[in-house]
Chains A and B, each alone.
Chain A
């Protein structure tokens, strides 16, 4: 057992903290929240220069081959500071999927451009029934000769409006088992028949509707093997759930720190409100819940980095983190009182994202069910 970071990880963490504090002040976060795109090309370029997009990609494609756990450290800081933009969909949902399932040609075409910051990616999976189970994927990919024609509607696709390419999960054959017959396609964002509309999310994350109306894709756009896309998705989801959990925990820590500072300074009844038991108990619960969930996130991240089985650990981390993020932000509001119920105050920036985090990549019900399965129930 070892609960400490090594020197390189501490440096990565500190660099991230310093950079994000300087380059992502809340003014920028707010203005990007209000903007159509939610993206700052200048910020994006600086992050690429730091090597962050290629952090876990192989050197052969321009990356620096750090471990998944290192990426989790970075993502936690991004959650703590709120780093706007399509980093998560590009590097994890897109980049990692291409790395794991793409052929050499696809990897050569895409990954170096991810590393340089020139390619933004996302994954279009969820549909009307929401969620992340194969049975809800109804988008069809009908084969016609050497082409596939995609029809259907994808929902809650993060940053689709910014993406250069979308990874799309569609049904290429019917099967009794809904997990069979799914295929992952790589499509250009401007493809004929594809319409991208931004949904209006209170988290101000730019989740999109992607309408596919007879989008024609060549056979070469298949990522992995036809009909065997779900196993790719299952693997990526493990990483994505843990990575997202790290962002959530970072945000929860920030909410806790804000509340803590306030509790020490704000006086009522002649004393700091942090000296009242109710406030102390809120803070204690917050610390225990956040750092407990954080341990689960790092345990899962470590196992994934070591190539060890981590189905249960990843599900535990995400199932728990989602709930902890919501509770921490809501409790922080109770500590702040009315002042944090204003747009001017920063807390709501975290509160909104905590809800989005819980709902992303499977909510807590979904992940608790995974845990139940892993337990042998």
Chain B
């Protein structure tokens, strides 16, 4: 009798220079809900993709039901009894529920025979697990919670005994999430094994039997949920980071330069990603927004900088309103003193096929300084770029080199130089050091502090908690589209970690 559903031994995976999974060992007991928790980029999704056959591990073995199993593609995973509910649903949106469920498991060349069977089977599954769905409804007309149910049914229909759910509550309302957990309990009671990937501690505590914690590609601990605490998990998840040493004097905040009131932003799927968020940023202070990626930070930045339209809310830039719910011209905001270092450097902040000097004017290319009439003043642009290169120590120091050929850190410096040298009143920075080499991090941090000391209002978003803590004067934590708390930067990691994981009442929990 084997009660281990899945065992991973020495799973190792590299993507180029990124070591996504380092020698992972894990056991999942049958008939349990096993949580996997970790920050963004901890390697959870990669590990699950390996388990589902989307990627091949470079090293290591997978045992399913005690048998060594090679999972070379999703097909192999399905036949090994593994099903997966992806974070971004893998559904054909204009198909009916039934068609989606049958896809890939049709049983016969002609659908008719299968359809009747599928309907019966679906009915049985619905009853057994309380998963009601109208089989003839079209996916895109269903709320996300129901769409997710279809994903679960899809896996069950294929006879999945082991179900992987990747960040399943990211798109759900609290009520929908609660319903999902009831479904998971139901599945467990029927003997299914569930792997729940999440970054939300509340969920882990609420539904899992055991929990594994991943950090920076490594499996750092496995605990029995009833014997651990949110504090312990938060600490394991975030780790004891060495606080990066950043020379920083006390802030002397001045007047409010950026004010956000009741901002609500919706994404293209119609989900509210930013929910009624309000805060201020004053001259001479850095306000850091901490949070796990996908909790609305990106949408917040885009709305404030005029790239994405907000649903409701008011934003004041130096006391003057920005029409965020209508059409905003980002270049007008630049003229009004708003500089923006976007999160997605490679797609938004830079045109990788441009040479360095061309990128050094992106967004400011209508500045008369760079133009003579309708023509670009190439000499002025290159001279200006060369100066920035020198001041920001961009290497190689060649304004004519294609931007794609610079390292991540130097690419980021190109963007920073462009935005900071404009002497803006408000500087918005998303993920300043993502994919940046260690040497450049210190430099970038120094520059951000310098901006603050020069009396700029700096709004900083980062998923790196230690970065937020070492740079910010005030820390706001975003979770599920809301600002769930404000703390001083010297608040403990555990406390911030709890907030980031959606446990709002940290004072209480800490007692």
| B partners with A | no
